[in-house]
Amino acid sequence: MGDAATTWRRLGTGVRTTRVFVSTAEIEGPSTELTGQNFRHLARVLRVETGSAVLLLDNSGRARESVVTEVTSNAVVLQNNEFIELDTEPKVEVTILQAIGRGDRFDEVLQHCTEAGASRFIPVVSIRSMVEIPPDRIPDRLDRWRKIIRGAAEQSMRTRLPEITAPLPLHLALESEVRGPLLMLHTVGSRKAIADTDLTDATTVTVAVGPEGGWSGDEVELAIEAGATPVTLGPRVLRTETAALVAVTQLLFQLDRRR
Ligand code: SAH
């Protein structure tokens, strides 16, 4: 092997410490009183007690160690200690443009790709999505999606929450939300491997993942007109949620190894 060995810096905190995203005000003071959703999560679900260690994250890249000093009927009180450096964010921004379908596959995409290091999600309603989201349901759906992202980010010790856009038809997503080179995962026709695409100076990349039935020919053409390169993940056909995870992994392995 030799030349390209990657060593990850040891994380500054125990991997079993509870992680929680809080507001900037809550991370900054000498102590913090967490109420509402954070209270319920810490006190009722995780059952923290006086003395439990909690790592506070404020979605700005900062992390601060704290200790529970009191659990009341509606608040968890923390004493805030040292700010620590957590080197968990990838240096390269990967956006997943994901065709959503029925069921909870998109939830899995959000969860697993957040863990693997994706930075943005664009849910797309495609021709073969077999799903419609009525406009009045979009705020609820986004809330739920953001909760899944947040849980996965806490679990994987991310210090920034991946963003998610409202669901869009493919042509609008291509027009306004793509950042950097666009790779379209496709299972037919002539395609390159991700490793053979030229991403040398890319600091941001978007990868488009089709629904269970795949992208339609028209959608592939539309994406190619918008500058997409069709790519393959290899000879095996993966489920859409597996394809998204494998794509993030391949991209970050290729682009985020230099530390
Ligand atoms: N029914 C389709 C497969 C769809 S798989 C077929 O038989 O061709 C769902 C999506 O995952 C695809 O649209 C593609 O974006 C992605 N995908 C799955 N396996 C892939 C592979 N080996 N290479 C590239 N993309 C893949």
CA atoms of 196 and 181, how far apart (whole Å) = 13
Instruction: Using the 3D structure, point to which of 55, 84, 113 is the last residue of a domain.
Output: 84
pLDDT at 13: 54
Cβ of 240 less than 6 Å from ligand 1: yes
CA atoms of 244 and 246, how far apart (whole Å) = 6
DSSP string, 187-230: SSSS-EEGGGS--TT-SEEEEEE--TT---HHHHHHHHHTT-EE
Rounded distance from Cα 51 to ligand 1 centre (Å): 49
CA atoms of 202 and 194, how far apart (whole Å) = 13
pLDDT at 18: 92
Rounded distance from Cα 169 to ligand 1 centre (Å): 19
Rounded distance from Cα 257 to ligand 1 centre (Å): 26
Instruction: Using the 3D structure, point to which of 24, 54, 84 is the last residue of a domain.
Output: 84
CATH code of residue 240: 3.40.1280.10
Instruction: Using the 3D structure, point to which of 21, 53, 84 is the last residue of a domain.
Output: 84
Cβ of 193 less than 6 Å from ligand 1: no
Count of CB atoms situated within 10 Å of the CB of 76? 27
pLDDT at 200: 85
Rounded distance from Cα 187 to ligand 1 centre (Å): 5
- Residue 237 Cα: closest atom of ligand 1: 19
Shared domain check, 127 and 245:
yes
Shared domain check, 215 and 152:
yes
pLDDT at 1: 38
Write out the two tokens for 77.
């009180």
Cβ of 186 less than 6 Å from ligand 1: yes
Rounded distance from Cα 236 to ligand 1 centre (Å): 9
Shared domain check, 142 and 75:
no
- The domain total for the chain is 2
Cβ of 232 less than 6 Å from ligand 1: yes
- Residue 231 Cα: closest atom of ligand 1: 24
Shared domain check, 48 and 116:
no
Cβ of 130 less than 6 Å from ligand 1: no
- Residue 236 Cα: closest atom of ligand 1: 22
pLDDT digits (tens, 9 = 90+) for 38-54: 999 999 999 999 999 99
SS3 assignment, position 145: helix
One digit per residue, the tens of pLDDT, for the chain of length 259 reads 334 455 555 454 555 689 999 999 999 999 999 999 999 999 999 999 999 999 999 999 999 999 999 999 999 999 999 999 888 999 999 999 999 988 899 999 999 999 999 999 999 999 998 888 999 999 999 999 999 999 999 999 999 999 999 999 999 999 999 999 999 999 998 889 999 999 988 999 999 999 999 999 999 999 999 999 999 999 999 999 999 999 999 999 999 875 4
Shared domain check, 51 and 106:
no
pLDDT at 258: 54
Cβ of 234 less than 6 Å from ligand 1: yes
Range of the domain at 20: 4-84
Shared domain check, 142 and 19:
no
Q: Could you tell me which of 104, 89, 96 has the C-alpha nearest to residue 153?
A: 89
CATH code of residue 21: 2.40.240.20
pLDDT digits (tens, 9 = 90+) for 192-249: 999 999 998 899 999 999 999 999 999 999 999 999 999 999 999 999 999 999 999 9
CA atoms of 92 and 168, how far apart (whole Å) = 24
Angle, CA 153 vertex, CA 238 and CA 173 arms, to 5°: 55
Count of CB atoms situated within 10 Å of the CB of 78? 28
Shared domain check, 158 and 208:
yes
Shared domain check, 118 and 139:
yes
Cβ of 237 less than 6 Å from ligand 1: yes
Strand partners, 207: 96, 183
